């Protein structure tokens, strides 16, 4: 199944405490976080288009790094992750789209294969990990309730959709001025379609905190 990928790199990475965007952090002497996440999709012949979404002030730098790849295109990021995805979606040309955080460079290729297979029969799917912690709802420092642990999952990316579905959901969110914490939530709100889970992998972490850099 052919698909486009939106690779999100337009954040600031402020929680890593680096003095630059974490996607440019070197995982080894050769490759940065962004190089590594990009290479996963460059290697997949089914991925015919990769849209790297980057901050306007980093666009020139990112373009000069990757413009040699014919399937790579560039879009400007927005103030929020959701706005960045929306800008990327405008350029998507395949009927199916993967949305992936560039800050998750440890994604394994077999998971891309499982997501593609799932998207053959579903309108929406994403990687999820069952929670091993008990999760409680808290307000103003007091516990309100405990969620049933075997129903609690943590969402990862890629999150994958029929392009028209996720585009319409993003447009509805723009009209309603609503911000979700991930793309699947927009489908929950506006999509009227089931969202299938694919079991993710604990190693597919999002580089977020300084400890994620020292462990990488
Ligand atoms: N992202 C984006 N556009 C934004 C914000 C985030 O494209 N306006 C991207 C980031 O580059 C990252 C992914 O979305 O790959 C997940 O976001 P997050 O981990 O929150 O990254 P940052 O926003 O960069 O980090 P922080 O919140 O610590 O500043
Ligand atoms: Mg952020």
Ligand 1: atom nearest CA of 208 is 19
User: Closest ligand to 8 CA?
Assistant: 1
Q: What is the pTM of this model?
A: 0.97
**Two tokens at 54?**
């980057």
Ligand 1: atom nearest CA of 9 is 11
H or E stretch at 101: strand 96-101
The CA 7 to ligand 1 mean position distance, Å, reads 11
pLDDT digits (tens, 9 = 90+) for 113-128: 999 999 999 999 999 9
Q: How far apart are CA 43 and CA 126, in angstroms?
A: 20
pLDDT at 15 over 80: yes
Q: What is the DSSP letter of 122?
A: -
pLDDT at 5 over 80: yes
Q: How far apart are CA 57 and CA 195, in angstroms?
A: 35
Question: Residue 30: which pLDDT band, with cuts at 50, 70 and 90?
Answer: very high
pLDDT at position 114: 98
Ligand 1: which residues within 6 Å by Cβ? 8-15, 23, 53, 77-81, 84, 101-103, 206, 208
Beta partners for 52? 7, 74
Q: How far apart are CA 197 and CA 194, in angstroms?
A: 10
What number is the average pLDDT over the span 34-59? Answer: 98
pLDDT at 215 over 80: no
User: Closest ligand to 212 CA?
Assistant: 1
pLDDT at 214 over 90: no
Mean pLDDT, the chain, integer = 97
């Amino acid at each position: 199944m052919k698909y486009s990928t939106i690779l999100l790199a337009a954040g600031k990475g402020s929680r890593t405490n680096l003095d630059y965007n974490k996607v440019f952090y070197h995982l080894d002497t050769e490759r940065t976080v962004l190089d590594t996440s990009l290479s996963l999709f460059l290697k997949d012949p089914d991925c015919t288009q990769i849209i790297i979404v980057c901050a306007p002030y980093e666009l020139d730098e990112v373009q000069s790094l990757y413009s040699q790849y014919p399937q790579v295109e560039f879009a400007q990021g927005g103030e929020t992750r959701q706005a960045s995805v929306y800008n990327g979606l405008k350029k998507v040309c395949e009927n199916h789209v993967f949305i992936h955080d560039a800050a998750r460079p440890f994604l394994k290729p077999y998971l891309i294969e499982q997501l593609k297979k799932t998207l053959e029969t579903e309108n929406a799917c994403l990687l999820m990990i069952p929670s091993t912690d008990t999760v409680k709802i808290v307000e103003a420092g007091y516990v309100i309730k405990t969620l049933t642990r075997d129903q609690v999952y943590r969402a990862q990316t890629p999150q994958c959709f029929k392009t028209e579905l996720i585009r319409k959901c993003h447009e509805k969110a723009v009209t309603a001025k609503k911000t979700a914490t991930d793309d699947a939530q927009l489908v929950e709100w506006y999509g009227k379609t089931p969202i299938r889970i694919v079991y993710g992998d604990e190693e597919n972490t999002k580089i977020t905190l300084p400890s994620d850099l020292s462990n990488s």
